[in-house]
Amino acid sequence: MLTTKSRIVVTGGAGFLGKAVVRSLEQRGYLDIFIPRIEQYDLRKDEDIRRLYDTARPDAVIHLAAVVGGIGANRENPGRFFYDNAIMGIQLIEIGRQAGVQKMVVIGTICAYPKFAPVPFREDDLWTGYPEETNAPYGLAKKMLLVQCQAYRQQYGFNAIFLLPVNLYGPSDNFNPASSHVIPALIKKCVDAREAGDTQIVVWGDGSATREFIYVDDAAEGIVMASERYNDADPVNIGAGFEISIRDLVALVVRLTRFEGRIIWDTTKPNGQPRRKLDTQRARERFGFEATTNFEEGLKKTIAWYEEHRRTG
């Protein structure tokens, strides 16, 4: 049982989602939060993880750290994405078990779902097929951590839970075109083109794929609620429960960024998974989580953040 006096390690706590999770914890009154930085703790190394546990002595760990990127980054780094994500999680869980951690919260990924999972994605369909090929190494590395959590609960009574957040977006997202996901990539393209006076932008695929997005503060709220209230083996989706096509998303971002040029669809590039939408009933029933941020309002905040930091950065 977590209390505000619990010592909590948040891996990836300096990242996009991590900062939001730390804010949510602090707003609830948690005072003892330890954020391991990669400069001091390389979570791929056994000795660094042991030193982390010796130093922080956590009651709970929220494991957010991951090596991630969009379709392009996944295609270019399948081996690294598999190894880094698998080895970080496997060792963190095992050494945490040895250290007597009371609660392990492991963050998975929507990429773990089969390419053609029935829509909306239900947690019980995680094993009905192979993930979409461009992000399968990353998705499967994360899914193995679900197996580990369930196996450790069964054999050792280890309280490990596994959460599956859908695509995130929001202020402070990663806008680096080499590794960003679709929303920050589109925002950057549209704003930069508008300010440069360009007459067109190029978008990957044909726009037919669909996606679901959750505002980063909503996702953080769901993770913290699960950390406090959920203690079962079943994986749980963290999502907003809606679906939008990439074509409609592009039109919305174009309107909100006031870009007036043409959209060129590069159909030689992959669409990624055909459809994505989560069933969010389990999170609602098990620990009372529902996303609350309106998508257009969340996009406006994200665009405003990028425009401000583009000028001042």
202 occurs within a structural domain: no
Q: Is 263 within the bounds of a domain?
A: no
Query: Can you give the pLDDT at residue 72?
Result: 73
Q: H/E/C letters for each residue in the chain?
A: CCCCCCCEEEECCCCHHHHHHHHHHHHCCCCCEECCCCCCCCCCCHHHHHHHHHHHCCCEEEECCCCCCCHHHHHHCHHHHHHHHHHHHHHHHHHHHHHCCCEEEEECCHHHCECCCCCCECHHHCCCCCECHHHHHHHHHHHHHHHHHHHHHHHHCCCEEEEEECEEECCCCCCCCCCCCHHHHHHHHHHHHHHHCCCEEEEECCCCCEECEEEHHHHHHHHHHHHHHCCCCCCEEECCCCCEEHHHHHHHHHHHHCCCCEEEEECCCCCCCCCCCECCHHHHHHHCCCCCCCHHHHHHHHHHHHHHHHHHC
Domain for residue 27, yes or no? yes
Residue 195 lies in a domain: no
Q: Catalytic residues, which ones?
A: 138
Total domains present in the chain: 1
Q: Is residue 150 part of a domain?
A: yes
Q: What pLDDT sits at residue 270?
A: 84
Whether 260 maps to a domain, the answer reads: no
pLDDT of residue 67: 85
CATH assignment at residue 234: 3.40.50.720
- Asked if the structure places residue 15 within a domain, the reply is yes
**pLDDT tens over the chain, length 313 residues:** 789 999 999 999 999 999 999 999 999 999 999 999 999 999 999 999 999 999 999 999 999 999 877 667 768 889 999 999 999 999 999 999 999 999 999 999 999 999 999 999 999 999 999 999 988 999 999 999 999 999 999 999 999 999 999 999 999 999 988 778 899 999 999 999 999 999 999 999 999 999 999 999 999 999 999 999 999 999 999 999 999 999 999 999 999 999 999 999 999 988 888 889 999 999 999 999 999 999 999 999 999 999 999 876 5
Establish if 152 belongs to a structural domain: yes
Q: Which domain holds residue 99?
A: 8-172+213-241+275-293
